[in-house]
Amino acid sequence: MLSILQSMPEFDPQIAAEFGNGMSASTFLGVPVFETASFSNLLIRFAFNLIVAFVTVHYLYYRHKGRKDYYFTFLLFSATMFLLIFLMENVKLQIGFTLGLFAIFGMIRYRTETVPVREMTYLFIIIGLSVINGLALNISIAELMMANALLLGLIWATEACAPRRRKGTKTILYDRIDLIVPSRHDEMMEDLKKRTGLDINHFEIGNIDFLKDAAFVKLYYTLGKGQADGPAVTKLQGDI
């Protein structure tokens, strides 16, 4: 068919190339088996997104007192989200669907534990970068790289300016209600530090149950090196 088109006076090589590529492409059940341009584009963009995610997780999150368990999670989240967005681009995703993904992952909170605010922020950043790199198909490479660089630079500046010592909070069920009176707060502070082992700055007394001789106390303490915020509520019973 190409030879017939070439013999015609109004032969257009570009149109012939388009028809030729479409006719010669192997298909299975109406789906192309291999497309060089699309395959190369997927690999290049996936590698770029993975590099950005690695820099974010390893050099910005983990090196600033991050947790090893989230290292694995963030990288896999990034790869999975990118592939989901990139491969579904042909479905013409609406902006509502994209925002819905943010809402879903923002409400997850992992049923097994409460995810700290810092980790949730980095999870949101990882998802956002993956969505940007997966959907930004109509902008130049320079613009895409600049968008990623601006966000990474902002994260770096924020981490660099953040206080070196992070703060944590914990609500405990405290059994020594004889110490909750204002005149004995110094004794209560010493008892809390001894029994929890935390560098407590101050505390707040909440609900008091005189029938069970217990009270809820919210502790504000300084996290040590490599220490993560613990469970939100802890039952504290001691060897009084």
Last residue of one domain, picked from the residues 101, 134, 161? 161
68-77 contacts at long range (C-beta below 8 A, 24 or more positions apart): 70/119, 70/122, 73/123, 74/122, 74/123, 74/126, 75/50, 77/123, 77/126, 77/127, 77/130
**139 domain-assigned:** yes
**16 domain-assigned:** no
**Token digits of residue 117:** 């605010």
168 DSSP β-pair partners: 221
**197 domain-assigned:** yes
**28 domain-assigned:** no
- 39 shares its domain with 157: yes
- 124 shares its domain with 226: no
- 154 shares its domain with 48: yes
| Amino acid in position 1 | M
Residues 214, 220 contacting (CB under 8 angstroms) = no
Domain boundaries, position 123: 35-161
- 80 shares its domain with 198: no
pLDDT for the residue numbered 135:
81
Q: Is 222 left (phi over 0), alpha (psi -120 to 50) or beta?
A: beta
pLDDT for the residue numbered 223:
74
pLDDT for the residue numbered 22:
44
- 45 shares its domain with 83: yes
Q: Is 185 strand, coil or helix?
A: helix
- 148 shares its domain with 171: no
pLDDT for the residue numbered 90:
53
Distance CA(102)–CA(44), nearest Å, equals 25
Distant-in-sequence, close-in-space partners of 83: CB < 8 Å, separation ≥ 6 = 46, 134
pLDDT for the residue numbered 95:
56
Most confident stretch, 79-88, 131-140, 161-170, 183-192: 183-192
pLDDT for the residue numbered 239:
41
Q: Domain tally for the chain?
A: 2
Question: pLDDT, tens digit, for every residue of 53-101?
Answer: 999 999 999 887 677 888 988 999 899 888 888 877 655 555 566 556 6
Last residue of one domain, picked from the residues 161, 189, 217? 161
Q: 165: how many CB neighbours lie within 10 A of its CB? A: 11
- 41 shares its domain with 99: yes
Last residue of one domain, picked from the residues 161, 193, 212? 161
pLDDT for the residue numbered 157:
92
Report the percentage of the chain scoring pLDDT > 90.
30
Residue 170's alpha-carbon distances to 147, 167, 181, 205, 235, in angstroms, are 38, 10, 20, 12, 11
- 99 shares its domain with 203: no
**133 domain-assigned:** yes
- 156 shares its domain with 39: yes
